[in-house]
Structure 1
Amino acid sequence: MSSPNLDRTALATRLTEAFRARVTDGHWPLGSKIPTEPELVEWSGAGRNTVREAISSLVQSGILRREQGRGTFVLSVSDLRSSVSRRAAATSRRDCLELRLALDAASARIAAVRRTDDDAARLTTLLDERRQAWSGGDVHERIRADSALHRAVVGATHNPLLEEVYDGLLGMFEEVQLHDVAGDTDDLAQLHADLIGAIVARDATAAAATMSALLQPMINELDPPE
């Protein structure tokens, strides 16, 4: 006869993989809030403790992130992304911004060459959503809208490895950016419009230069590295 503890551990392992599959197959998209604990209990048929154990396992692996008072969100969709995210978590603001500049500028250049008509339409829509987000004072909504736009630029490269690495760093980029979006006005609105305009126009040089104009000033205002 098997031990009840072994049975519960096996069930938790299966449930963890079932939840992981919801992430990897897109049912729980990157950045989205996953169902509540009671909803997961109902969906899975497992007990509350087993559901908690499965969620905790994915939080520890970097796939999910708990936010006090807000819920649990998809932070990464693969082990590569989560390992990159964990490594990046201890980095400085300068290191983070320099890495983001390298990735975002390269992505903008490639996206301008490879973007499809669907990509162009999506970028235009997300640019408008970003603009609308600044009409309210919710910094988390501003971060979400800004990240969605930058992530769509990376998506327009159609380079899956670049997308995977970028997604692993997105949570860190968002944390570093929090104080940059707290102002009453969006001082970077025009540069974002110029960026998307350059990508839509397939002007790779202008796209990369505009991305640099967005991020380099944030690096310049920091103290030089020792």
Structure 2
Amino acid sequence: MPLQPVPRASLSDHVVEKLRDEIAEGNWPVGERIPPETELMAQLGVARGTLREALRALQYSGMLEIRRGDGTFVRARSEVPGALARSGAALEHVLEARAALEPPLARLAAARATEADITRIEELLALRSGAEGDEWLDADVAVHEAIAAAAGNPILFEVYSALLPQLREYVRLGAERDGFRRDDPRGHEDLLDAIRRRDGAAAAESARANLEAMSALYNDGD
């Protein structure tokens, strides 16, 4: 759907708001390139300078990434990931945040997951089992994201989604340590089985056990 022109009296702040809405509503998916500047200028009725000021603001907030010669890409659906990236959070903070979110999300997923949710998790686990390197990392993070989505709480999902870049880095560093098990069923196959059985307690316990294993791995490596 074409964007509506911005009133001339409204400058970059209004453009930022309109672009933010397009991203938050999923009209421009994460990882995809947004329309070119000339198209946005025509749709919004603003000058190039005004548009670029808005794009820079959204880049600073963490929602967009401007790549010279390649266009502008969506990095996140909200400004929370940018705030997290600037927070200077250490790996132990990531683990604490995961511990606060993942067991409750797993419990909710066991109660609310649809058949489509379960199928999605199954597909991602299958992709994860046959992947290597960055593809494995991406699939692992996608499994966690799909479980969070299956919980059916948009507020918790938004908060958890903002944590995913830090989660990916946490797992990447963990995978480099001795004793890391890529095929550990805790938090993955065991959790999916609990979701299938609608066993919220078992789902939460599986998520918790997975986090404890990761924590022990880091503590042993220090």
Same fold (TM over 0.5): yes
* Shift in Å, 1:23: 0.6
Aligned equivalents of 1:149, 1:181: Cα separation in 2 = 16
The match for 1:3 is: none
1:187 aligns with 2:185: no
Paired residues for 1:89-108 under 5 Å: 89-108=87-106
Provide Cα deviations, 1:103-123, integer angstroms capped at 9, x if missing partner.
Answer: 111111111112122221222
C-alpha contact 2:118 2:196 (8 A) present in aligned 1: yes
Tell me, yes or no, if structure 1 residue 214 matches structure 2 residue 213.
no
SS at match of 1:26: coil
**Structure 2 equivalent of residue 4 of structure 1:** none
TM-score (normalizing by structure 2): 0.75
Cross-structure match for 2:125: 127
Instruction: Give the counterpart letter for 2:167 in structure 1.
Output: F
SS of alignment partner, residue 187 of structure 1: coil
> Which residue is 1:165 aligned to?
159
Cross-structure match for 1:26: 26
Residue 10 of structure 1: CA displacement? 4.7
**Distance in 1 between the 2:115 and 2:54 partners?**
40
SS of equivalent residue, structure 1 residue 85: helix
Matched, 1:147 2:131: no
Gaps of 5+ in 2: 1-6
Output one character per residue of 1:113-137: Cα deviation in whole Å (capped at 9) or x when no partner.
12122221222122223224x2x43
Contact 2:174 2:218 in 1 (8 A): no
Moved over 6 A (4+): 67-71
The answer on whether the counterparts of 2:62 and 2:76 sit within 8 Å (CA) in structure 1 is: yes
Residue aligned with 2:213, SS:
helix
- Counterpart secondary structure, 2:36: helix
d(CA) in 2 for partners of 1:47, 1:175: 39
AA in 1 matched with 2:95: L
Out of 193, 196, 208, the residue aligned to residue 197 of structure 1 is 193
**Per-residue CA shift, 1:55-99, capped at 9, x if unaligned?**
2211222323468999755443235x3576357x31211121122
- Matched AA of 1:196: L
Range 172-181 or range 152-161, more displaced: 172-181
Structure number with the bigger relative contact order (C-alpha 8 A, sep ≥ 6) is 1
Give the corresponding residue for 2:109: 111
2 CA distance for matches of 1:156 and 1:23?
Answer: 21
What residue ranges of structure 1 are gaps of 5+ in the alignment?
1-6
Residue in 1 that maps onto 2:58: 58
Over the residues paired in the alignment, what is the CA RMSD in angstroms? 3.4
Closer/same/farther in 2, CA of residues 223 and 148 from structure 1, 3 Å limit:
closer
C-alpha spacing 1:109/1:73, structure 2 compared with 1 (3 Å) = farther
Identity %: 33
2:4 is aligned to none
State TM-score, norm by structure 1: 0.74
How far apart are residue 174 of structure 1 and its match? Answer: 2.3
SS class of match (2:206)? helix
Contact kept? 2:36, 2:71, Cα under 8 Å: no
